[in-house]
Amino acid sequence: MIAAGATSVGIIASKDPRFDQESGSPPMEPFQGPHQGGIASDQQAYALFLACDLAKSGKEHLRELLDVWSAVAAEITAGNPPPQPAGLTPGFSADTDVGAGLDPARLTVTFGLGPGVFGDGMGLDSQRPKHLRPLPEFLGDTLNPAWSDGDVLVQICADDAQVVSHAFRALRARMPGLARMRWTQYGFLSRPAAGGTPRNLLGHKDGTVNPRPGTAEFNRSVWVDSVDEPAWFHGGSYLVFRKIRMKTADWDQLPLAEQDRIIGRQRADGAPLGGVDEFDAVDLQARASDGEPVIPKNAHIRLVHGFAMLRRSYNYDYGTLIANAGGTPDPVPVPPHVHASDTPAHAHGGHSQLDTGLLFAAYMNDPPAQFIAAQRALANDPLNGLIQHTGSAIFAMPSGCAKGEPIAKVLTD
């Protein structure tokens, strides 16, 4: 296993095909390679995050799932129909034609393993990534278990929502008997016509200080290569996922200058307060003529300054879809003696009307020192009154795979 790990890491520095592309936007993203696609890849416009639980314990069942899913992903990311399942009755079609005629639109399918994969009965205890434990509870969390956790994650991204839907359908057709759907989340992220940093639903540019793929900072903060981590996980990354609802109606009623002071940047152009350009260095020492810091003491960018990680988040806007869903879901049923209007806010997922915000998705190699420390540093962030964390999960995203091999082969061999 050490040899395989070392080979994988060796390739990273020398010939990752995605780093050879100056243009940065190939129409197709390779499924095979030293790293999984969908991490260092330029962010696509649409995403689906799908979490599921394994139907049966034992690493052989995980292997079976990753075998069939890797085979499907390898074909559909290349613009081909999914492979015929073994034993398919003649006359049945392995594809749905939902994506027929559409470009692959830079489709990526990225797999992750949750803490449960290394739990009882799996036979993988000794292979658990060092930091793959459920995240601690943070101040103000209003998490809904229906939108949290999961044994296996699939991140599906493409520049076309129908391509994403088609990929989802192809993958879930292989789940029965192997995995049960746990939650899905859909997002979008549009890049300005002139290029540059996309905006979140607070209207702010989001991702200005992201490490750039191929740089030393990116390799240092995103890819796992520590000797403290199991060899199979080298070349992988941790994904921290948080469903963050934004109280946009409250936000929109703040004066622009107050919004800017909460973030520490100008909404219009993304420049840090006191600067003139989006990419100006953040000067945390600068003081105004009244002696107050130009970037306020509790400004969001001050509080998280220095915590490097790759944020690859998506905006979501479900409107009243969830408020109007109807029915009581299995995981958080309303007890029979409680009247609907008396149910606690978290039974509504933290909100009872509009649901819009950020599917925060961040890749890193040391969650305690990166996400967890940053999130604790945000304890007094005035933004906390304007957002709600309603879902939470962490996954170990294995390294990439070679042609004809499944994701996490070394782990499940």
Q: Which is nearer to a second copy, 23 or 89 (CB)?
A: 89
Task: Compute the least distance from the CB of residue 17 to a second copy, in Å.
Answer: 23
> Which of helix, strand or coil describes residue 156?
strand
Nearer to a second copy, 215 or 353 (CB): 353
Nearer to a second copy, 161 or 294 (CB): 161
| Residue 375, CA atoms < 13 Å, CB-side half-sphere | 22
Q: Under a CB-based contact definition with an 8 Å cutoff, are residues 240 and 358 in contact? A: no
Compute the least distance from the CB of residue 116 to a second copy, in Å: 18
Q: Which SS3 state, helix, strand or coil, does residue 95 take? A: coil
Closest separation between CB of residue 288 and a second copy, Å? 18
- Smallest gap, in angstroms, from Cβ of residue 76 to a second copy? 14
> Which of 65, 364 has the CB closer to a second copy?
65
Residue that the structure tokens 């049923």 belong to: 333
* 85/404 with CB nearer a second copy: 85
Least separation in angstroms between residue 166's CB and a second copy is 9
> Between residues 217 and 317, which has the closer beta carbon with respect to a second copy?
317
- Report, in Å, the least distance between residue 123 CB and a second copy: 29
Residue 277 CB, nearest distance to a second copy (Å)?
A: 15
Q: Is 73 left (phi over 0), alpha (psi -120 to 50) or beta?
A: alpha
Question: For a second copy, which is the closer residue by CB, 143 or 240?
Answer: 143
Burial state string for 367-406 with b = 16 or more CB within 10 A and e = fewer than 16: beebbbebbeebeebebbebbbbbbbbbbbbbbbbeeebb
Helix or strand run (H / E) with residue 70:
helix 59-76
Angle, CA of 261, 266 and 269, to the nearest 5°: 170
Return d(Cα 90, Cα 87) in angstroms, integer. 9
Q: How far is the CB of 257 from a second copy (least distance, A)?
A: 6
**What's the farthest any 2 CA atoms get from each other in the chain?**
79
Cβ–Cβ contacts within 10 Å for residue 225, how many?
A: 16
DSSP bridge pairs for 205: 199
Cβ atoms of 278 and 271 within 8 Å: the answer is yes
Nearer of residues 64 and 260 to a second copy, judged by Cβ: 260
Lookup: tokens for 269: 């152009």
Residue 39: C-alpha distances to residues 30, 44, 129 (Å): 12, 11, 18
State residue 389 phi and psi, 5-degree precision.
Answer: -85, 115
Q: What does the alpha-carbon distance between residue 259 and residue 203 come to, in Å, rounded to a whole number?
A: 10
147 versus 363: smaller Cβ distance to a second copy: 147
Comparison of 285 and 341: residue with beta carbon closer to a second copy: 341
Taking the complex as a whole, the smallest distance from the CB of residue 394 to a second copy amounts, in Å, to 19
Tell me the three state secondary structure of residue 112.
strand
Contacts of 380 (CB under 8 A, 6+ apart): 298, 303
CB 102, min distance to a second copy, A: 5
C-beta of 265: minimal distance to a second copy in Å?
12
Q: Are 206 and 200 in contact (CB under 8 A)?
A: yes
Token pair, residue 47, equals 């995403």
Copy the structure tokens of residue 262.
């909460």
- Phi-psi category of 263—alpha, beta or left, where left has phi over 0 and alpha has psi -120 to 50? alpha
CA 362: distance to chain centroid?
A: 6
> Considering only CA atoms, which of 308, 299, 288, 285 is closest in space to residue 362?
308
Of 195 and 291, the one with the shorter C-beta distance to a second copy is 195
